[in-house]
Amino acid sequence: MTEEEKIMAGVLFCPADPALKEIKRRTHNLNLEYNRTCEDETELRDRLIHEMVGEIGEGSFLQGPVWFHYGKHTRIGKHLFANFNFTVQDDAPVTIGNHCNFGPNVTIVTPLHPMLAGERNAMRTANGEIKRLCYAKPVRIGSNCWFGAGVTVCPGVTIGDNCVIGAGSVVTRDIPAGCFAAGVPCRVIRELGEADSMRRLPDILADNQVIGQESDGGNPV
């Protein structure tokens, strides 16, 4: 297996492999190009992000700066919004659904290192070479999720559709769909439902209306 194939198989690989280093070098350079652009350079930004990531849907906007590691291992759905300093260390695949919103300084990581220092510093490969090795686990994020500022998503985590992750959370385990979760480590606080509707906050809702709940003579339409 190539080192990239080892990543996808979930086994130890060498991040210093020349082929992997070339992927990362190219992506890191694209990061820098993207981060030097102005917001109104929309065509250039669109070209750069499509060169950088494996897939990205229409209507997605990344404020920048952005930091992708491999880039090609990330797939993003439609209408993503990512605020400042969106970081994706996508050694293993990262999949993000549609209509997701990420606050500033959100980080998604996939690589893992041996816990014991000696193993972390050096291991013997199948052909007898001594190298530093690590492994990685994929991250999957569903559609219609909102992540507050400073959230970190750890390797191997799956987050279901329609979730809200509170600011500063460190997500170390799966979060089921339709939940508000927060904390270090992140845990489910409650299921989201009608009690969370903006209709419960009329002072903030002001003269706006929740779609599907517009009034017509006092009756929903």
Q: Which residues are part of the catalytic machinery? A: 113
Question: Counting runs of H as helices and runs of E as strands, what totals does the chain give?
Answer: 5, 23
User: What is the C-alpha to C-alpha distance for residues 219 and 213, in angstroms, rounded to an integer?
Assistant: 9
Strands 107-109 and 152-153 turn out to be: parallel
Q: Which among 144, 149, 185 has a CA at the least distance from the CA of 159? A: 144
User: What is the C-alpha to C-alpha distance for residues 109 and 136, in angstroms, rounded to an integer?
Assistant: 9
Distances (CA, A) of 171 to 38, 90, 137, 154, 186: 32, 16, 14, 6, 5
